[in-house]
Every structure is written in structure tokens, then in C-alpha cells.
Structure 1
């Protein structure tokens, strides 16, 4: 029985992606080429490895055995790359970073693949969690970097033994139903319905500053998460202030974002431990990459 590890990798991709078509996109192959690789694998092992269904492909029992083998091979190859990189004096290790949606979507996800190519021995693990839990995990050593809004309560409260590094400064923008006349200043927002903001969110202070001096109606609805704010605005329930990253590429239909003078900026910071042995070389490498990627972002709305 001759089992080709490359064909096992194709089977694993089909399993993870949920079907031949999706796996073809991931592998940058045609669906026909993926099907041929699976057929050759089945010919080599003498059993069916995929149960092809209208909604996708499901592994057979034999397919699961082979997919688990493929995962072990993948893991061994990853460990080998890390070991070789360490021998050559390259940056190696695992860096765990905690952040929230807008940063994960716009900064961290694109960064993972680039770092993997540049530093084969470096692994970046992303965790989405709230700020207080992230701070606890940073203290315990379970997390190496956390991204925070500097204007949030936690951003104002640096813990002993940590250091804050500026990452990005981006404008706050007003999001409103598309049919609303375009304002030229915050004074034009006075008679519009505002959404409230959770006091623990950085947008709270930005919103209070924008509303200061306006005879606006007290808000009925409120948000903490910026995606929730966009949903409420899309439903015609009010206007909101969100950071530019929250609307880049994801602005819902029927919603527009407007930049106005006087709204200020949201500042993102990265917090890491500072001890005799930290931050480690790999943590500083990831931090530098995050700052460089942030500098290339166009946050103009």
C-alpha cells in the first residue's frame, strides 16, 4: 500500500473546508484536480475515503483515520521547521495575542500568513476575549500581548510589570442611515436620535464629547460592540460613533460613515509584560510586525 503524503494533505483540506470546491479554493487548485487526488488516494488504499453528499463531502471511517494521520504529519513538519529555524538562529516560538473584532479582522488575520512565510519557526495564536480577562491572562503568562483601546477604562489602567506601546491612531466617525442628510459639523447632529454607549467602551467618551452642548434626546438603545452599533443604525434606530476600522470593508447596506471635525481619534495600544526575561524576542518581532501593518492601513472614510 503506497500512501502519498501530498494526497493526504488534499484529503485533510477537503475535511477542513467541508467539500471539494472549498478545498480547491484553499489549495489554489481546480476542483477537478482535487477530485483526481482523492480518487488516486482511494485507489492506493483500496477503500473509499469520502462520502460525497449534495451539501459537501464527509469523511468515511477510513477517511478519518487518514485525515488524523495527515494532521500528525502536518504537526511533525511544523515542529521540524521550528527546530531548523532555531538551529539557524531565526526567530522561533509561540506568541499568544488577545484582541477584539476590529483589530483581529483588519490587522491580525492578514498578519498570520505573512509572519508564517517570513518566520517559519514563529507561531501566532489569536484569542478574542474581553479586556479584563485578557489582562488576567497577560499577568498569568497565558497571553503575551493584548491590544487595547487607550481611552477605555482598562487602557487608562496600566498594570505593574507591563508596558504600553502605541499601535494605531484612527479617527472616530459617525455612522447613520444613508438617507440622513450629510452633516458638516457635530451641531448638525443635534436633532438626530443617538445610540447610547456602554461606559466601559472607548466610544463612550468620544460620544459624550460629541454630544456635549447638544440638546439631543437621551438614547433609548445602547451598544458595546461596534458590529451591534452598525446593526442598530442599519435598523434605523439611531446614529453612533465608531472607529474607522469598524467600518472599513464591512459597512452594511443603508448605512454611511461620515468623518467630522472635532470627533477626535481612537488610540490602540499593545500591552506586554516587562521582566528580566521579557518581552521575548519573538514577542517583539510580532509587535513590530503589528505596528508596521497598522502604519500601512488607510483609515480615511
Structure 2
């Protein structure tokens, strides 16, 4: 029985994509070429590996055995490439980074593919978690980098054995229903309905500063998460202070974001461990890439 690893890779692509047509797109082959590879594999092993159905293709029991073999081969090849890259002095290894939604969406997701192309032996794993848990995971070694808002209690100072690095400084903006007259200063916000902010949220101090001296009505609704703030404003329940990253590309219909003098900025920091062996080379590589990407962001709204 002669099993060609390249044909196994085609079978694995069909399994992951859910059908021959979709696999052809992934592999940049014609559907006919994919079908031919599967047919030759079936001829070589003497069993049917695909159950072709109107809505796609499902692996037979034999097909699942071969697909699992293909996954092991793929994993072994990946490990071999990483090992060779390490021998050649390239950046290799796995870096686990914890962050929150706005940073993941605007900074980390676009970074993953670029790092993979530039450093094939480097793997970046993203974990969404709150600051307290992220700090615990950093201390335990489960996470290598965490992104924090400097204005939160956890972001005020680095814990022993860690170091903080500035990543981005972005403006706070006011979000309000689109029909609201455009303010030119915070004084114009006095007679508007404000949303409250959880005291542990970074936006709390920015909101308190913007409201200082205003005779605003005590808020009825409050938020911690910026997406919740957007939803409340979209529902006409008040205005809120959020960072620019929270609205870039996701501002709902009927909501506008306005920059005003005196609102200040949100500062994002990256925190990593500092020991005799850390930070590792790959961690510093990821950190440098994050800082470079942040510098290219246009945070004007």
C-alpha cells in the first residue's frame, strides 16, 4: 500500500473546508484536480475515504484515520521547521498574550498573519481575559504578555518581577446619538443625559474629569464594557466617554463620536515578566511588533 503524503494533505483540506469545491479554493487548485487526488488516494489504499453528499463531503471511517494521520504529519513538519529555524538563529517559539476586545480587534488580530509570514517559527496565541486574571496568568507563567489600561487600578504600577512598556496613547471621545447638536467643549454637555461608569473602568476617571463642574443629572444607566456603552447610546439612553479604539470601524448607525479638548487620553501598556531568563527573544519580538503596529494606527474619529 503506497500512501502519498501530498494526497493526504488534500484529503485533510477537504475535511477542514467541508467539501471539494471549498478545498479547491484553499489549495488554489481546480475542483477536478482535487477530485483526482482523492480518487488516486482511494485507489492506493483500496477503500473509499469520502462520502460525497449534496451539501459537501464527509469523511468515511477510513478517511478519518487518514485525515488524523495527515494532521500528525502536518504537526511534525511544523515542529521540524521551527527546530531548523532555531538552529539558524531565527525567532521561534510560542508567545501567549492577554488583552481585551478593543486591543484584540484593532492590534492583535491584524498582527497574527504578518508575524507568521515574517517569523514562520513564531506562534502568537491570543487570550481574552480581564486584568486581574491576566495578571495572575502572567505571574504563573501561563501568559507572556498582557495589555492593560494604565488608568485602571491594576495598571497603575507594575508588580514585582514585571516591567511595563508604553504601547499606545489614544484620545477619549464622547459618543452620543447622531441627532445631538455637535458640542465644541465639555460645557456643552451639561444638559445632556450621561451614562455612569463602573469605578474600576478606565473610562471612570475620564468621565469624572469631563463632568467636573457640570450640573449634570445623576446617571440612571452605567457601563463597564465599551460595547455596552455603544449599545446604551444607540438606544438613546445617554452619552458616554470611550477611547477612540472602541469606536473605530464599529460605530453603530445613529451614533456619532466627537473629540473635545480637555478629555485627555487613554494609555495602553504592555506588561511582561523580568527574570534572569525573561523576557525571551520571541516575547520582545512580539512586543516590538505591537508597538510598531500601534504607532501606525490612526485614532482620529
Measured after TM superposition, the shift of residue 129 of structure 1 is 0.9
Match of 2:80 in 1: 80
Q: Deviations over 1:106-164 (max 9, x none)?
A: 11111111111111111111111111111011111111110000111110132001100
TM-score by length of 2: 0.89
Cα pair distance change 1:10/1:213, threshold 3 Å? farther
SS in 2 for 1:38: helix
SS in 2 for 1:158: coil
**17-26 vs 62-71, which moves further:** 17-26
Q: Deviations over 1:180-217 (max 9, x none)?
A: 22222112222222222111111111111111111222
Measured after TM superposition, the shift of residue 267 of structure 1 is 0.6
TM-score by length of 1: 0.89
Count of residues in correspondence between the two structures: 301
Measured after TM superposition, the shift of residue 96 of structure 1 is 0.9
Correspondence 1:100-119 to 2 at 5 A: 100-119=100-119
Cα pair distance change 1:66/1:157, threshold 3 Å? same
Cα pair distance change 1:158/1:7, threshold 3 Å? same
Measured after TM superposition, the shift of residue 16 of structure 1 is 3.8
Cα pair distance change 1:232/1:12, threshold 3 Å? farther
**44-53 vs 90-99, which moves further:** 44-53
Cα pair distance change 1:263/1:23, threshold 3 Å? farther
Alpha carbon RMSD of aligned pairs, Å? 2.5
Cα pair distance change 1:257/1:75, threshold 3 Å? same
**Does 2:92 align with 1:96?**
no
Measured after TM superposition, the shift of residue 69 of structure 1 is 2.1
Cα pair distance change 1:257/1:61, threshold 3 Å? farther
Q: Deviations over 1:71-112 (max 9, x none)?
A: 212211110111010110111111111111111111111111
Q: Deviations over 1:199-253 (max 9, x none)?
A: 1111111111111111222222222111121122222222211111111111222
Cα pair distance change 1:279/1:259, threshold 3 Å? same
Measured after TM superposition, the shift of residue 175 of structure 1 is 1.4
Cα pair distance change 1:5/1:213, threshold 3 Å? farther
Structure 1: where are the runs of 5+ without partners? Answer: none
SS in 1 for 2:236: coil
Q: Distance in 1 between matches of 2:235 and 2:39?
A: 49
Bigger radius of gyration among the two: 2
Measured after TM superposition, the shift of residue 44 of structure 1 is 5.5
